[in-house]
Structure 1
Amino acid sequence: MSAADTTTPAKVPPPRQAPPPPASVRPLGPRGRRTPSGAAVPWLLLAPCLLTLVLVMGYPLVRLVTLSFQTFGQSQLWGFQPAEWAGFDNFAEVLGDGQFWAVVLRTIVFAGGAVVFTMVGGMAIALLLQRVSGWLRILINIVLVAGWGMPVIVATTVFKWLFDSDYGVLNALLSRLPGVEMTGHNWFASGPQGLAVIMLLVVWGAVPFVVITLSAGLTQVPRELEEAARLDGAGSWGVFRHVTLPILKPIIVMLTTLSVIWDMGVFPQVFVMRNGHPEAEFQVLNTYSYDRAFVVNDYAQGSAIALLTVLLLLGVVAVYMRQMLKIGDVE
């Protein structure tokens, strides 16, 4: 072996890596094209949905706004007379009508009561479902989904039969109680009593969604926090108030807002329950707008009432967005 073979081989330095590209340079795609930035990806994914909403709701909304500023009745509908621009006359007439404000107050009270009973009842059922066995929870969820999936017209027809004055099941059951005589009782003889029945129908149809959503939220509540609260001496109400409720607050705000929007827009329950002709004491905003447009044949005023309803609901959505932004800032 020669002296050259015993020398230590020189170490070869590793190849230098190229520095990473600056953040302002977008990566190239497989064909040399620049890929969209991260901020544009959500808008690209939402584009089909937004386009569908614009196509489906854009023209009806524009037509609604246009009609509310015109004089448009049956003569204009059939083309006998051209539609004339009325400015804010329709809104002034609607806002100056005392019956409109009575309907607004009735709608707010109706929707508020329905939302309160829906949220309280849904929360109570969701909490109870956490304490039952697995198979019973599955059975109750199946019943809730079946009730939630029932068409509104079918559910309204069933409630009409339950509360019928002559053949109603509820009157027959109540009459069996000692000292109670409900045979032939008409639940729709007065507006408040009839609206209470309709409110029960609305709550019955909305509770399943609330229960299922809150049940899913309750599974995300850490058990460690609940156990720590109990070790600190908190009772069931204390654990719910200081641990469960804050964690469920975003879900509760969302459900409450959706319930307000849905209950403010109640139409088929009232319309079908009153056989297509709701009396004055049963009128809510949607049925009142329908009557002005298709019973009185004043489509302009009906559109003005519908537009005012939309603006009222936009106020509810604004409150919802404000609450969600507050929750996001706290987190």
Structure 2
Amino acid sequence: MSAADTTTPAKVPPPRQAPPPGPPPRPRRPASAKGGTATPWLLLAPCLLILAGVMGYPLVRLVTLSFQKFGQSQLWGFQEPESVGFANFSKVLSDGDFWQVVLRTIGFTVGAVVFTMVLGMLIALLLQRVSGWVKTLINIALVASWGMPVIVATTVFKWLFDADYGILNALVSKLPGVDLIGHNWFASGPEGLAVIMLLVVWGAVPFVVITLSAGLTQVPAELEEAARLDGAGSWGVFRYVTLPVLKPVIVMLTTLSVIWDMGVFPQVFVMRNGHPEAQFQLLTTYSYDRAFVVNDYAQGSAIALITVVLLLGVVAVYMRQMLKIGEVE
């Protein structure tokens, strides 16, 4: 046996195991981002100051008047305003006419918002399927109607629905078996409010259409194609693909439409020549009527404050929906 055969083989050390991975290092916050919390507030400060100056005093004055006795004598300085606590609110909330106005306002708002959103969605979907020049013409018409002053639009609608000279009665009367010559659309509250609702919808649809059209461009085409390959029809694609993508936009538009339609004033006021009858009263005109026709400024302020509280409830629902959408995303 040779010497090489009698040597002891060298021991090979076992491989070293890598240490267990520790937590990833926390990224350092850049020095420029240390003041990021205050930057948004600094950027918003000018706008907030302007809003506080423009809306702060009227809102404080509104709240103050609603808890006082304030009429003509107090307005001209013959008597000092008296604090009456919640008496104005008790008087308003116990008035049957007020609750009729509330129900009328809610019905008017719901009808206007539903028609606005449905018509706006249909037109927005139509714009996705027409040629370029037709889309341009429709957009020009929408912007023109949207930019028309409310007083001008109301005057045009008054002429269209006039009992003696209205073009609508003349055109509809040309249909077989229809005779609307001399028909007064404002002889009853429901018909008159329907005309005013049509005016409100006509003025609100352009904004809804333009916003929804922008939202439809963000719907992924591959999702729509995948839904069609799975056998979904046009309604299925719209329901399960388009609507979920547009939900934040629809919630925003619906909330804004509710706020705007509950605050309708010039359309009713001008359409009824500055003196809306009882069957045409909404919360805004009713508050104005109590303050400047009956000269009970305190009660008018109480009605206005109740309207503000109702609108804040709508805003709260909107914020809750937006927070839910943010949590899902």
1:130-209 matches, within 5 Å, as: 130-209=128-207
Equivalent in the alignment of 1:80? 78
Q: For residue 136 of structure 1, report the CA deviation from its aligned partner.
A: 1.1
Structure 2, unaligned stretches of length 5 or more? 1-24
Equivalent in the alignment of 2:314? 316
Amino acid at match of 2:62: L
Separation in 2 of the partners of 1:133 and 1:27?
Answer: 52
Separation in 1 of the partners of 2:247 and 2:37?
Answer: 28
Q: For residue 37 of structure 1, report the CA deviation from its aligned partner.
A: 1.3
Separation in 1 of the partners of 2:269 and 2:235?
Answer: 41
Q: Does residue 106 in structure 1 map to residue 104 in structure 2?
A: yes
Between the two proteins, the alignment pairs up a number of residues equal to: 305
TM-score (norm 1): 0.90
Q: For residue 23 of structure 1, report the CA deviation from its aligned partner.
A: 4.9
Equivalent in the alignment of 2:228? 230
Residue in structure 1 matching 2:284, options 286, 289, 306: 286
Compared with structure 1, are the counterparts of its residues 183 and 238 closer, same or farther at alpha carbon in structure 2 (3 Å cutoff)? same
Residue in structure 1 matching 2:125, options 124, 127, 142: 127
Equivalent in the alignment of 1:7? none
Q: For residue 135 of structure 1, report the CA deviation from its aligned partner.
A: 1.4
Q: How much identity, in percent, do the aligned residues show?
A: 83
Equivalent in the alignment of 1:4? none
Separation in 2 of the partners of 1:234 and 1:312?
Answer: 41
Equivalent in the alignment of 1:262? 260
Q: For residue 27 of structure 1, report the CA deviation from its aligned partner.
A: 3.1
Separation in 2 of the partners of 1:22 and 1:171?
Answer: 72
Amino acid at match of 1:204: W
Separation in 1 of the partners of 2:136 and 2:328?
Answer: 35
Separation in 1 of the partners of 2:31 and 2:124?
Answer: 48
Separation in 2 of the partners of 1:291 and 1:27?
Answer: 59
Q: Does residue 92 in structure 1 map to residue 90 in structure 2?
A: yes
CA RMSD of aligned residues (A): 1.5
Equivalent in the alignment of 2:10? none
Separation in 2 of the partners of 1:23 and 1:311?
Answer: 46
Q: For residue 318 of structure 1, report the CA deviation from its aligned partner.
A: 0.1
Secondary structure of residue in 1 paired with 2:232 = coil
Amino acid at match of 2:31: P
Q: Deviations over 1:64-123 (max 9, x none)?
A: 000000000000000000000010000000000000000000000000000000000000
Compared with structure 1, are the counterparts of its residues 40 and 23 closer, same or farther at alpha carbon in structure 2 (3 Å cutoff)? farther
Q: Deviations over 1:262-288 (max 9, x none)?
A: 000000000000000000000000000
| Runs (4+) off by over 3 Å | 20-24
Q: Deviations over 1:200-250 (max 9, x none)?
A: 000000000000000000001010000000000000000000000000000
